[in-house]
Amino acid sequence: MKKLTKRSWAEPYKMKMVELLKMTTRPQRVKAIKEAGFNTFLLKSDDVYIDLLTDSGTSAMSDRQWAGMMMGDESYAGSRNFYHLESAIQKYYGYKYIIPAHQGRGAENILSKILIKKGDVIPGNMYFTTTRLHQELAGGKFVDIIIDEAHDPNNEFPFKGNVDLEKLDKIVKKYGAKKIPYISIATNVNMAGGQPISMKNLKDLRAYTKKLGIRIIHDMTRVAENAYFIQQREKGYQTKTIKEIVFEICSYTDGATMSAKKDALVNIGGFMATNEWDVYEEARNLVVVYEGLHTYGGLAGRDMEAMAIGIEESVNDHHQRARVGQVEYLGHKMEEYGIPIVKPIGGHGIFVDAKAFLPHLTQDEFPAQALAAELFIDSGVRTMERGIVSAGRKANGENYYPKLELVRFTIPRRVYTQAHMDVIAESTAAVYARRDKIKGLKMIYEPKYLRFFQARFGQL
Ligand code: PLI
């Protein structure tokens, strides 16, 4: 008889509706990936079995959110749903003023245009693709100040999203505080593998920036996942709720951008928030140019209602435990098969270390891109590249060569089951067993911006 050694968690919801998936054969998948130029972004989703391309806009909404959608007030101005959203943001995040946007990058565009002048420098805890591009388009230069541990997939430091304050101090001394409009701080750093920043680090950063009058702008796309890790790992936070921790994180920052398509459990939506009246006023001017009126920002009333409800659901302790628990379940399965993954296991997905998986390929042969294509061929599981293709080119045209060359298995929230996780791990193990046979790729079409979305490749 097996002895009871632990009690499992399970999802704090049950299913009410399902979406049927198309099952494909290997020859069909080979044809599909060739037609997609070996880029998983160019596949038709009908050809995909388990879709781990992103956790962005792919979560399942709750019955409460769907009910909220029916309560959409589609007035052009002053929709009641905007006021619900504003109240939810003020209540759970504590920011004073908010501007809705169609998604995260819409908010980034407006914020970058307001705060960045030509020649400015924006230090941050690792770049994110759209965030850095908007900073650059506004005339700024992004400088990475994340701790070195974040660049090492095997380093098990629990807060790999932390800022290295010495690196920041060097940047401040080099350029002067006047050239730094803000520090760009992401919670649960996406490109590092969904790695959290600690509350202590954030407090230290606040103390440092306060002296110099430099803002902290918070990319809060995955703030609740970060809060979960603080609750699990940081001294003094075990008895605090996710809600309390999220609120505290936001309190050390001056404003935020958010892609609500992740943590906040909606299929579309985002916002910019600020505690400064002047910044808000300018954002109200710009939002009408780029997004829509300041009370809808490119969204339907129903989308804002779903977002207000999603924000509330996202700070629920049981929800976050199940969300990150599922990601950890997949990560542990992969580890059992000896698959090299970024450690510690992150919040929104498993990041496979493609350099370690395919050591026979150079980074110029796009190992992560090649591995993502091979996984799709094996089982119809769609993942994405987060390496040299995503990193793009510098202003002088040279490629960035990021230390991390990863394939991201991003888990949508409340969508897949534990059995799906088993299938994903087994498919990855099957590909790992024949890894020596996997060939590299060459890029045959490269778009100007954010090339990973639309680039095309051929096999070497
Ligand atoms: O995709 P948007 O425009 O709603 O949000 C842009 C964005 C900003 N910050 C962070 C940390 C993100 O992860 C982010 C979008 N991420 C995507 C699409 C992803 O697949 O990770």
Q: What CATH number is attached to the domain comprising 226? A: 3.40.640.10
Whether 233 and 348 share a structural domain: no
Cα dihedral 350, 352, 353, 356 sign: positive
- For 245, 315, 369, 407, the CA distances from 443, given in Å and listed in that order, are 44, 42, 10, 17
Q: Give me the pLDDT at residue 369, please.
A: 98
Catalytic residue among 132, 160, 386, 414: 386
Q: Atom 20 (ligand 1): residue with closest C-alpha? A: 54
The secondary structure of 336-377 as a DSSP string is HTT--B-SS--SSEEEEEHHHH-TTS-GGG-HHHHHHHHHHH
Indicate whether 79 belongs to any domain. Answer: yes
Contact 260, 307 (CB under 8 A): yes
Q: Give me the pLDDT at residue 395, please.
A: 84
Whether 322 and 294 share a structural domain: no
Residue among 127, 136, 192 at smallest CA distance from 161: 192
Whether 283 and 380 share a structural domain: no
Whether 132 and 256 share a structural domain: yes
What own/partner pairs with CB < 8 Å and gap ≥ 24 does 63-71 have?
63/16, 64/309, 64/313, 65/265, 65/266, 65/305, 65/306, 65/309, 65/310, 65/313, 66/306, 68/302, 68/305, 68/306, 68/308, 68/309, 69/302, 69/303, 69/305, 69/306, 70/302, 71/302, 71/305
The residue whose two tokens read 């879709």 is: 51
> Among 314, 334, 358, which residue terminates a domain?
314
Indicate whether 205 belongs to any domain. Answer: yes
Q: Give me the pLDDT at residue 317, please.
A: 98
Q: Give me the pLDDT at residue 8, please.
A: 87
Q: Give me the pLDDT at residue 9, please.
A: 87
Q: Which two tokens stand for residue 258?
A: 């958010």
Whether 373 and 426 share a structural domain: yes
Domain of 172? 63-314
Please provide the distance, in angstroms rounded to a whole number, between the alpha carbons at the two ends of the chain.
54
List residues near ligand 1 (CB under 6 A): 54, 56, 103-105, 128, 130-131, 186, 190, 219, 221, 259, 261, 270
CB neighbourhood size of 188 (10 A): 28
Contact 354, 407 (CB under 8 A): yes
Whether 97 and 125 share a structural domain: yes
Q: Among this protein's residues, is 414 annotated catalytic?
A: no
Whether 309 and 427 share a structural domain: no
Whether 81 and 221 share a structural domain: yes
- CA pair distance 407, 405, nearest whole angstrom: 7
Whether 360 and 249 share a structural domain: no
Whether 358 and 302 share a structural domain: no
Ligand 1 center from residue 336 Cα (angstroms): 30
The count of structural domains within the chain is 2
- CA pair distance 264, 393, nearest whole angstrom: 31
> Among 314, 334, 352, which residue terminates a domain?
314
Q: Atom 16 (ligand 1): residue with closest C-alpha? A: 56
The SS3 assignment for 245 reads: helix
Whether 119 and 201 share a structural domain: yes
Chunked mean pLDDT (size 10), the chain, 460 residues: 91 96 96 98 97 98 98 98 98 98 98 98 96 96 97 96 98 98 98 96 98 98 98 98 98 98 98 98 98 97 98 98 97 98 97 98 97 98 96 91 95 98 98 98 95 96
Whether 48 and 137 share a structural domain: no
Ligand 1 center from residue 221 Cα (angstroms): 7
> Among 314, 344, 360, which residue terminates a domain?
314
Residue among 153, 178, 191, 206 at smallest CA distance from 345: 153
The residue whose two tokens read 């958010």 is: 258
